[in-house]
Structure 1
Amino acid sequence: MPVRRGAVRRGGWSGGGGRWLVWTGRVVLWALIVVIVVNGVRAPIERLTESDTPTGTTATPTGSGFPEAAASAFASQFAAAYLNFDGAKPDERADRLKPFLPEGADRQMGWNGFGRLSAGTFQLSDIEVQDAQNAVVTVFAQSGSQRWRLSVPVYTADGKFVVSGQPALLPAGGPAGLPATAEPEHDDTAEAELRPQLESFFKAYAQGDATQLQRYVVTGVTLEGFGNKLTLEELKSVSAPPGGTRREVTAVVVWGVPTTATPSPVPTNPAAQSAGLEQAYRLTVEKQGDNWYIRDIRGATRSTG
């Protein structure tokens, strides 16, 4: 019987499965091409990014557990022993270093036993934590007019510390360059009015007499003086800007600082005489009637007029 047009043929393979395999192969091929292209683009970008990352530096781990405060104190004590030596007394330095060094370490920690160095004013500069047990602690030190930084590798375990390698001296840098500032405006009349008032105030401030101080301060304000530990040698300058009844003024004074030296039979001995120390103050003052009164006193800013 002839097959009618449009009828479904039964039995045999129609070839649809072959087309499915072809399309599957194409999808796999295109996916492979996409992966190759993406990796090819990403690789140079990653290399470029890595080249911009600084080398030779170790970031401080967050929450490393390293005892920074105690290690800083340990390194400062070590620096005090390490940066003080005298060729005439080498064993003294070795004894001072012993509590900081591991067993078998050079007892002089690299010093050849000659010369003399005296350093002090040890303060923490920074600390580079490497992990929970290792860090490099850098402290400031000063010897005469020379400032240094000393980097000290430190290891810790069971609450104890040890210097784990050779220290390194680094320059501390000089003072920052201070740019010039414009001369502030002055109110000559106010400065003339303030001078006698401030001179009396600073005398009372040096004496620390609460009753006397109340004569020069705003009602309700209490200031503590020096209790005769200083004396007023001179009110050197007063600088007052133009303004209203409340202003911030600057006063430069010279304090007399009693000597702590043993009395000398030589009257011209400088160490036996009272020292003079010039200092600058900011004062908030208020004018009430014809007089100025102090509301607050602080250290001056860089511009003193």
Structure 2
Amino acid sequence: MARRSTVQHDPRIAGDPELSAYSDFPDEPDSGQETSRERSASRGRWSGGGGRWLVWVGRAVLWALIIVIVVNGVRAPFERFTRQNTPAGAAPVSADGFPTTQGTSFAIQFAAVYLNFDGARPQERAGRLAPYLPEGAESQFGWDGLGRMSAGAVQPYGVEVVDADNAVITLTYQSSDRRQLLSVPVYYDRAAEKFVVAGRPGILPAPAPANLPAKAAPDRDGAAERELRTPLEDFFKAYAAGDTASLQRYADAGVTLEGFDGAFTFVELKDLLVPLPAGATREVTATVVWGVPSGATPAPDATPADPGQVGGKLEQAYLLTMVKQGDKWFVKDIRGAHRSAG
């Protein structure tokens, strides 16, 4: 059985000559199911209603997401590139913009000249001070040309930033048996990228040493100390001589040790502290006495360990990590010791 096309009954066709052409199409067979034209017409009627705005909103959200991904993808490599091309030697600046690292270096060099003078050679000091002083400053910068002073071990202590162009840089130094401070006002010419001492420095007393609180001594493993003494004496002899082959006999598997190569000689193992509890791995504190070279020209047949070449003695403390394998102990690590007890 055939049925007439539903298009012919659509009231819209009657008033539209273009749509009325569809009425000439032959009827589709009656399959008992909705035809493709009917499905298309029904979908078109639905999407033309309230659902189309959801499509446009979805498209807008999708495009916004794509734009964010693209922008981030372009920006990330650019930021990495600019960071990699930032000069590695760029000087750190304070929160106020004063270049503290460069300013401190300038102040240290100035202090090394300023704190050393000799009344027998005043012009020498004046010439060395000139690169640090402002134009028109007194050549000796406050010294009357008499007396003598020497100082060394000049190190940074602190920086007080006044503003982006001015700071007071404090240094610590050693003069004779005194540790003292020197505060130096420094001006930074930002346009010329230059520094100058902006006023008279001030010498101040350095803080006294801190009070070290007493520390209880640990319980000692006497048996392990006796067992380790001879192997460690032999180890430190090889360590002083820099005997690579001997050192490797005392080193744990995979550990490479280097010694002093004769710069010191082994005198004695003064103290050995092995704390409890016991175990196959122990942290051992050793106090070693080294022989310091005398500085004299050695005899042609002298060896680094020749006692006649020792000019003095120096005690040093070391922390060793020892590992026991079978009946033998091996050195896994050697470094400076922690604070002592007492």
Tell me which amino acid in the other structure corresponds to 2:148: R
How is 1:6-155 mapped onto 2 (pairs within 5 angstroms)? 63-155=95-187
| Cα displacement (A) at 1:257 | 2.2
* Structure with the higher helix share, 1 or 2: 2
The runs of 5 or more residues in structure 2 that have no matched partner are 1-92, 299-308
Q: Scaled by the length of structure 1, what TM-score is found? A: 0.74
Query: By how many angstroms is 1:251 displaced?
Result: 0.4
CA deviation vs aligned residue, 1:72-129 (integer Å, no higher than 9, x gap): 1110111111111112222222112111101111111111222211101000001112
> What is the CA distance between 1:275 and its match in structure 2?
2.6
Q: Match for residue 282 of structure 2?
A: 247
User: Cα distance, 1:171 vs. partner?
Assistant: 1.1
Equivalent residue for 1:48? Answer: none
Q: Contact between 1:250 and 1:304, CA under 8 Å: does it hold in 2?
A: no
User: What is the aligned partner in structure 2 of residue 211 from structure 1?
Assistant: 245
Deviation by residue 1:193-247 (Cα, 9 ceiling, x = unmatched): 0000000111111122221111112111111211222211111111101221111
Letter in 2 for 1:279: Q
Question: Which of 229, 247, 262 does residue 195 from structure 1 map onto?
Answer: 229
CA–CA distance in structure 2, aligned partners of residues 219 and 114 of structure 1: 64
- Equivalent residue, structure 1, for 2:292: 257
What residue identity is the alignment partner of 2:222? D
Residue of structure 1 aligned with 2:194, choices 129, 141, 160: 160
Task: Name the structure 2 match of 1:282.
Answer: 319
Query: What residue identity is the alignment partner of 2:265?
Result: T
User: Are 2:260 and 1:223 equivalent residues in the alignment?
Assistant: no
- Whole-Å separation in 2 of the counterparts to 1:137 and 1:90: 26
Q: Tell me the distance in 2 between the aligned counterparts of 1:221 and 1:142.
A: 40
One-letter identity of the residue aligned with 2:279: G
RMSD: 1.8
Give yes or no for contact 1:239–1:304 (8 Å, CA) kept in 2: no
Preserved CA contact (<8 Å) 1:257 1:276: yes
Asked whether the 8 Å contact 2:184–2:197 carries over to 1, the reply is: yes
- Contact residue 237 and residue 253 of structure 1 kept, 8 A: yes
State the 4+ residue runs in structure 1 displaced beyond 6 angstroms.
none
Q: Provide the C-alpha distance between the structure 2 equivalents of 1:262 and 1:172, rounded to a whole number of angstroms.
A: 41
In structure 2, the CA distance between the partners of 1:217 and 1:262, relative to structure 1 (3 Å rule), is closer
Structure 1 residue aligned with 2:331: 294
Once residues 297 and 183 of structure 2 are traced to their aligned partners in structure 1, the CA distance between those partners, rounded to angstroms, is: 39
The two structures have a TM-score, normalised by structure 2, of 0.66
Residues paired across the two proteins, number: 237
Deviations 1:127-176 (A, max 9, x none): 11222221111111110111111000111221211100111111112211
- How many angstroms does 1:69 deviate by? 1.3
5+ residue gaps, structure 1, are: 1-60, 264-271
What SS class does the counterpart of residue 215 from structure 1 fall into? helix
Task: Give 1:261 shift.
Answer: 5.6
CA distance in 1, matches of 2:131, 2:261: 43
2:155 & 2:141 partners in 1: Cα distance?
21
